[in-house]
Amino acid sequence: MRTERIVLAADHAGFPLKEILKEYLVHKGMDVIDIGTFSEESVDYPAIIRRGCAAVLEQGCTGIVLGGSGNGEAMAANKVAGIRCAVVYSDETARLARAHNDANVMSLGGRLTDPEDAKRFVDIFLATDFEGGRHVQRVEDLETK
């Protein structure tokens, strides 16, 4: 695993999967920082996601954001300077998000992702290193525009 600390942030639709992943990660010995939300009561996700991304940057760790589809959460995360968030929906997107895009946050759709698949995606994401090489300039260009 790349990191021993991970930040979780979710809206109400991502809450159930966040809780499953939190238990899974704690069981694996990870230090989990749970930014919320803490129930399935409807909330607006942008502020929660911004707080989660701030914690990722402050802690120098990896994050997972969750919502219904994960798309809005990824959009909110990518508005935060220094965050590279990828929507993950398969083993390959989990791997490529890290290997090619040096993503420091992954976004999952709580209403679309089977919990066992989500656990596998998290393991792949955390275990994959950035390949560098031809991808360095592209990732740097994301930060400068």
- Active site positions, annotated: 73, 100
Beta bridge partner(s), residue 136: none
C-alpha dihedral (28, 29, 30, 35), degrees to nearest 10: 90
Q: What is the signed CA dihedral for 16, 18, 24, 28, rounded to 10 degrees?
A: -170
DSSP string of 90-122? SHHHHHHHHHTT--SEEEEETTTS-HHHHHHHH
| Helices 15-27/115-127 angle, 10° precision | 50
* 3-class SS of residue 137: helix
